[in-house]
Amino acid sequence: MIDDYEKAMALIERMEERLPIPARPIGALVRTLRQGGVKLDRDRELQIKRVFYGGDEGGILCDVTPPDLVKTPIICSLTHLRVSARHTLAQEIRTYQRERANKLSRPGRKSTSFSAKLKR
């Protein structure tokens, strides 16, 4: 098991109470979106507008679709976003991200990955 389900759901509840949450995409997300034809700058501030749980494999997912890209919704893992250190949930979000990344990178962990392609 990657996530502690109870902790993940509690974080989702706290995040929902504070929406929208400003965040910036990490480089891997920007590169993936660019490959799909979506031009997004790494320094662009996005707003987390909705959060939901994508199961143990998906983790906490966020809708960060900018108003100018509503035809191409952007749903990504919370681990692909950076929340400002000044945000009230910054430490808790970073703890979740670090724990999830550590568990995903453990040696011998059986990978059950999936991917999504952007629809144009």
Residue 114: per-residue pLDDT: 44
Helix residue ranges per DSSP H, the chain = 5-17, 27-35, 55-58, 90-104
Model confidence, pTM: 0.85
User: Which comes out higher in pLDDT, residue 26 or 104?
Assistant: 26
Render pLDDT for 43-93 as a digit per residue (tens, 0 to 9).
999 999 999 999 988 999 999 999 988 888 999 999 999 999 999 999 999
Whether the Cβ atoms of residue 42 and residue 25 lie closer than 8 Å to each other: yes
Which residues are registered as beta bridge partners of 83? Answer: 23
pLDDT given at position 113: 45
Longest dimension (CA), the chain: 42
**Can you tell me whether residue 67 is helix, strand or coil?**
helix
